[in-house]
Amino acid sequence: MGPLKWALLGVLLSASLFAIDSVELRRNQPTERISGSAGDVLEDDPVGRLKVFVYELPSKYNKKILQKDPRCLNHMFAAEIFMHRFLLSSPVRTLNPEEADWFYTPVYTTCDLTPNGLPLPFKSPRMMRSAIQLISANWPYWNRTEGADHFFVVPHDFGACFHYQEEKAIERGILPLLQRATLVQTFGQRNHVCLKEGSITIPPYAPPQKMHTHLIPDKTPRSIFVYFRGLFYDVGNDPEGGYYARGARAAVWENFKDNPLFDISTEHPTTYYEDMQRAVFCLCPLGWAPWSPRLVEAVIFGCIPVIIADDIVLPFADAIPWEEIGVFVDEEDVPKLDTILTSIPPEVILRKQRLLANPSMKQAMLFPQPAQPGDAFHQVLNGLARKLPHDKNAFLKPGEKVLNWTAGPVGDLKPW
Amino acid sequence: MKLSALQQSYLNRRSNSFRGSAQLDSAADGSVKSPAAVFWLVLHGVCCLISLVLGFRFSRLVFFFIFSTSATNLYTAPFRGAAEIASHLDVRSTPVTGAADSVPGNMTAVVASSTSRVVVGRHGIRIRPWPHPDPVEVMKAHQILERVQREQRALFGVKNPRTVIAVTPTYARTFQKLHLTGVMHSLMLVPYDLVWIVVEAGGVTNETASIIAKSGLRTIHVGFRQTMPNSWEGRHKLESRMRLHALGIVREQKLDGVVMFADDSNMHSMELFDEIQNVKWIGAVSVGILLHSTDSSATIQREGEEESTPMPVQGPACNATNKLVGWHTFNSLRYAGRSAVYIDDRAPVLPRKLEWSGFVLNSRLVWKDVDDKPEWVKDLDELDGAGEEVESPLSLLKTTSMVEPLGNCGRQVLLWWLRVEARSDSKFPAQWIIDPPLDITVPSKRTPWPDAPPELPSNEKMSDGAQTQDQQINKHSTKTKTPRTRRSRTKRRHDTKVIGVQASTLSVSEQQN
């Protein structure tokens, strides 16, 4: 089974087949149909294809945490909260766990925020462990599969490794109790400890209403060639550079700060969203983690994302053919970024813009309230539905135990 | 200093050098350091000093080279070791990066491991040696931008754009070049096909022809037999007739497109040309009225008449359902009696009730024998009576209800009306070419301009005056040129005090009365 799973992973994560169909859509803009390696699945309706049972955890795992700090609803990790709310009122939810295909545990692990608003992951492993202990004690469904038909939303920097520093995250690895479960996370990097196969990558949360209030007329000509706003050097944590973003952001700055085609700076303008709509390319380099909300913003605003993050796995990689939509630049090719971008033929650029203009593409990146068809919630459910039916060794024989409940650092074993 | 002393002490232990041995002896006597500790201390110091000189952490380099030959993935280890040993020279990375880049690319070693080719840890910041953009690539980028914008226009702009026919009545005068150049530049920017009909009062002149020849547009330059009168009344009337004459040309040549009236002193926005493409038969846009009033206090005082804030806008008025219900005209009562009568009066110039420039027509309205012309349009020939006072294109219509309000039902002001003219006795060089060249009475003493303006000498004592100037402004002048004095015998009417150079009067071939 091992090699087969690797092959499946390879197919899922690599560049995909693509079906092109020019379609006239309502706004008079011809867009192209998007099909990823899993086929034309962006518009699939998951209702009827799967059933999800939502565990009723005590509110200290979810509601009370949110009450303590409502900022969790607005930061880029808010997907875990909105996923819970969506599932509670979704037609795929079932109250009968016997007929459920998937089980969801609503635990908000990324809601312990510093005064600045950054989540502290130090208590998250204990919180997750405590939640799993609860569900395994009160319901029989965890023990019969040891989590193979359970899914968890872990949107933090390195997913279920629960640390913001990459080295420490790699050391910790994925929480041992989650090793059979399906993880829905924003982090994705090939051959990385913190991405297990079978995970579903989702986009980070970006507030849809805020972005939609900043839309400008379509006919505003795109006059900026390359646009980027953000840090190049993280002076607080890595003053010399070279550590942050593996030196890629610093390389972008040093090579292109004087280039008139590159509108890059660290400022935070109020017209950030409007400027993205006036740009042809938007840089999405890695930071401390390879993913960032810039990808979502670029897709919404029709700016071709230039992804500078080696081996990154982008959201819904099996449903969305990112190779056709964005431009991938290796970190070592950053000094040649201008050559790479100017040598793209204009027809290819126009095609990428047409793909980005596809409304189903934009919907798939958003978490709107209330949920709309084709949005990121539905793509997650579609992804879960594509993993059905569970294969035979998901269900353990009675008495069989796979997970080691005492594995992991000692600090994780303390009760939460 | 310290480096050399240490090295000396290290190398010449038993030397008789007073300074070195004294230091070494004192160090050896005073401390109980083991040789190993001393060695590390010395090495530390050496690394520090080299780092100071070179500007980056030299010790890291050393440890990297020492350990790089060993097992894989020790990428992070050398730097931790170095961090403990080396002192923290927190040099700003900008000068560092050049050197950091010189470290060979195996910093980001493609570690031949079965896991990932992406390694955690400190990577070099890659900088290419020639930082400037390649001009060929810049051109390609601009071509990409242009192609993208063209596609945007094709998708979101106007479909099937029609030719714009711009009608401009003009006549040769001082401000003509200013006004006509402005209109010309606006028309040159219009992204659609354009025909520019220029009707010139007083016949075709080289002056006007030379201005419009530079546009590169398709122009039709015709003359009109009458000369432009000196009063605004007369000018407005003549301009109306000139515009009708232009419409006659549209009719003769069966020009197809949208006719707009671009008066030469008006200012047009680019959105105007996009908006007029939407006209079906006859449309009206809002015109901003810019009154050039020399007496600013008069405009600010309200004088108690307060029905509504008088917006200086002329154009269609719509109700809530965006239907045309009337017209906004300019309230000229406030200026009654104080408005300009003659072209060079220093009083505000008032517009007519409804200016021609606020209307656009489908050119087929003026064609002969067109079947699908609507019945509410009179034929152009009916307006041909010389005594007819045609104030606006509305006279062409039997009913004004069919006028289409453009620009978001008149809410957008798309062009501005302005009338500014020079004094009637103003002269300007023909075609703005100075020929013969200006006379110079006193040449510039030196370049750049001096700090203090020189005293202008009187005409007779020209040469003496030049020398006194020299003496006065002594400290700045390095050499004095022999002044070329040429007494101008013509009258000096303009006694402008220009620093250094005194312009003589212009003997100009007068062009007009």
Tell whether A192 lies on the interface with B, counting CB pairs under 8 A: yes
- Amino acid A133: pLDDT: 92
Query: What's the mean pLDDT in A130-139?
Result: 92
Does residue B138 or residue A398 have the better pLDDT? B138
Query: What's the mean pLDDT in B213-219?
Result: 92
State how beta strands B313-318 and B324-328 pair: antiparallel
Q: Which residues of A touch B153 (CB under 8 A)?
A: 219, 221
**Inter-chain touch A342–B137, beta carbons under 8 Å:** yes
Question: A323, A331, A281: which is closest to A301 by C-alpha?
Answer: A281
CB atoms within 10 A of CB B160: 5
pLDDT per residue over A20-63, tens digit each?
Answer: 444 433 445 677 888 888 777 888 888 889 999 999 999 999 89
Question: Counting Cβ atoms within 10 Å, is residue A3 exposed (0-12), middle (13-18) or buried (19+)?
Answer: exposed
Amino acid at B285: V
Domains, chain B, in order of start with CATH, read 161-294+311-417 (3.90.550.10)
In terms of residues, how long is chain A? 416
- Residues contacting A333, CB < 8 A, separation 6+: A340
Helices (H), A70-227: 79-88, 124-138, 141-145, 166-172, 208-212
Nearest by CB to B148, from A280, A336, A341: name it: A280
Question: B497, B502, B446: which is closest to B474 by C-alpha?
Answer: B446
> Beta partners for A32?
A22
Q: How far is A60 from chain B (nearest CA, A)?
A: 36
Beta strands in B19-59 (DSSP E): none
Across all residues in chain A, what is the average pLDDT? 88
State how beta strands B404-405 and B313-318 pair: unpaired
Most confident region among A220-229, B448-457, B464-473 by mean pLDDT: A220-229
Nearest by CB to B76, from A29, A167, A251: name it: A167
**At residue B461, does pLDDT exceed 50?**
no
Test mutation, A195, A237, A254, chain B, max B CBs within 10 A: A254
- Amino acid A115: pLDDT: 92
Q: Calculate the CA dihedral of residues A305, A311, A316, A319 and round it to 10 degrees.
A: 90
What is the sign of the dihedral through the CA atoms of A83, A88, A90 and A93?
positive
CB atoms within 10 A of CB A65: 20
Q: Calculate the CA dihedral of residues B348, B349, B352, B357 and round it to 10 degrees.
A: -120
Across all residues in chain B, what is the average pLDDT? 73
Query: What's the mean pLDDT in B311-328?
Result: 86
Q: Which residues of B touch A189 (CB under 8 A)?
A: 116, 118
- Amino acid B319: pLDDT: 86
Test mutation, B126, B138, B274, chain A, max A CBs within 10 A: B126
Q: How confident is the model at residue A407 (pLDDT cuts 50, 70, 90)?
A: confident
Query: What's the mean pLDDT in B130-159?
Result: 91
Question: A123, A63, A130, A247: which is closest to B96 by C-alpha?
Answer: A247
In terms of residues, how long is chain B? 513
**At residue B498, does pLDDT exceed 70?**
no
List phi, psi (to 5°) of B367: -75, 155
The ipTM assigned to this model is 0.86
pLDDT per residue over B236-293, tens digit each?
Answer: 889 999 999 999 999 999 999 999 999 989 999 998 998 999 899 999 999 998 886 6
- Amino acid A393: pLDDT: 80
**Inter-chain touch B94–A254, beta carbons under 8 Å:** yes
Tell whether B156 lies on the interface with A, counting CB pairs under 8 A: yes
**Inter-chain touch A251–B115, beta carbons under 8 Å:** no
Find the residue in A nearest to B274 (Cα): A219
Check if the beta carbon of residue A156 is closer than 8 Å to that of residue A109: yes
Check if the beta carbon of residue A136 is closer than 8 Å to that of residue A106: no
pLDDT per residue over A146-191, tens digit each?
Answer: 889 999 999 999 999 999 888 889 999 999 999 899 999 999 999 9
Does residue B85 or residue A286 have the better pLDDT? A286
**Inter-chain touch B152–A310, beta carbons under 8 Å:** no
39-98 in chain B: CB under 8 A from chain A: 76, 90-94, 96-97
For tokens 């799993």, the residue is A132
Check if the beta carbon of residue B268 is closer than 8 Å to that of residue B414: yes
- Amino acid B475: pLDDT: 46
pLDDT per residue over B354-388, tens digit each?
Answer: 889 999 999 988 888 777 788 888 887 777 665 55
Q: How far is A139 from chain B (nearest CA, A)?
A: 38
**Inter-chain touch A170–B115, beta carbons under 8 Å:** no
Neighbour order of strands in the sheet with A150-153: A52-54, A102-104, A150-153, A182-185, A200-201
CA B144 to chain centre: 23
Test mutation, B144, B146, B277, B278, chain A, max A CBs within 10 A: B144
Nearest by CB to B116, from A192, A217, A261: name it: A192
- In chain A, CATH 3.40.50 sits at 208-365
Tell whether B127 lies on the interface with A, counting CB pairs under 8 A: yes
pLDDT per residue over B167-202, tens digit each?
Answer: 999 999 899 999 999 999 999 999 899 999 999 999
Structural class in CATH, domain A208-365: alpha beta
Helix (H) / strand (E) containing B407:
helix B407-410
- Amino acid B473: pLDDT: 45
- CA distance linking residue B124 with residue B122, whole number of Å: 7
pLDDT per residue over A355-391, tens digit each?
Answer: 999 999 999 999 998 999 989 999 999 999 999 888 8
The percent of residues above 90 in pLDDT, for chain B, comes to 25
Q: How confident is the model at residue A15 (pLDDT cuts 50, 70, 90)?
A: very low
Phi-psi region of B489 (alpha: psi -120 to 50; beta: other; left: phi over 0): alpha
Most confident region among A29-33, A237-241, B344-348 by mean pLDDT: A237-241
Q: How confident is the model at residue A286 (pLDDT cuts 50, 70, 90)?
A: very high
Check if the beta carbon of residue A79 is closer than 8 Å to that of residue A73: no
